[in-house]
Amino acid sequence: MNTLNSNLKKPRKGLLGSWDMVVGPGMSFQETWICLIPTLLATVLIPIYAIINHFGWNIWQLLIMAFLVFDLVGGAIVNVSETTKCWHHSPQHNWRYHYGFIAIHLHPFLVAWLYGGSWPEATIAYGYLLIATPLILFVPCRLQKSIAITLYLGGLVLSHYLFQGIEGMGWFLPVYFLKLFVSYLPEDSNRSLS
């Protein structure tokens, strides 16, 4: 059994408990700030970039974009932290939990709806995510990172063809697939060997 997982703390109560459910209980001050500083910078800078470059987004589009940036950039960073990796890959979280986590990431449809993307492109991106997920989840732990990187590279190829007509969205699919394929899904093989 993984000794790190066996020493997991329980989530706190209240608002801090909600934070614990996302990042894992017991995240250190250093881990928290390493995750938050670049996430908050990106959350502010991408909407500012949209304003400076006159994308014509209304206040709701700017706020939803800030949410998407916070979720995707933050998730790409936090999901590789030791605390978060231990939490999400603890014995209480099975493949259904992981697939559910992936399935709620309907972001391509938000982009299609709010920023002028196409529904077929959103369906292709989301479909790729759902089809690729079990290819990572159901292989031995020692192979998960390699498969995740391979599928991420496939996602990068897709990103050159999907959502390219939307100003300011060149970052979206690469970070979307980075968060979910590379940062979140693979279990840490070093921990599983301990």
State the residue for tokens 């938000």. Answer: 110
- What average pLDDT score do residues 43-65 get? 96
**What is the per-residue pLDDT across 98-145, written as a single tens digit (0 to 9) for each?**
999 999 999 999 999 999 989 999 999 999 999 999 999 999 999 999
Q: Considering only residues 162 and 106, tell me which one the structure prediction assigns the higher pLDDT.
A: 106
How many beta carbons lie within 10 A of that of residue 95, not counting itself? 11
pLDDT at site 86: 86
Q: What is the pLDDT of residues 82-98, one digit of tens each?
A: 988 988 888 888 999 99
Sign for the pseudo-dihedral over CA of 164, 167, 170, 173: negative
Cα distance between residue 83 and residue 87, in whole Å: 6
| C-alpha to C-alpha distances, 180 to 37, 103, 124, nearest whole angstrom | 20, 10, 16
Confidence (pLDDT) at 89: 87
Beta-carbon contacts of 156 under 8 Å, excluding residues fewer than 6 positions away, are 173, 174, 177
Which tens digits make up the pLDDT trace of 69-85? 999 999 999 999 998 89
pLDDT confidence of 164, banded at 50, 70, 90?
A: confident
The pLDDT of residue 5 is above 70:
no
What is the C-alpha separation between 100 and 95, in angstroms, rounded? 8
* pLDDT-derived band at 65, boundaries 50, 70, 90: very high
In the predicted structure, residue 3 carries a pLDDT above the cut 50: no
User: CA 26 → CA 9, 13, 96, distances in Å?
Assistant: 6, 13, 24
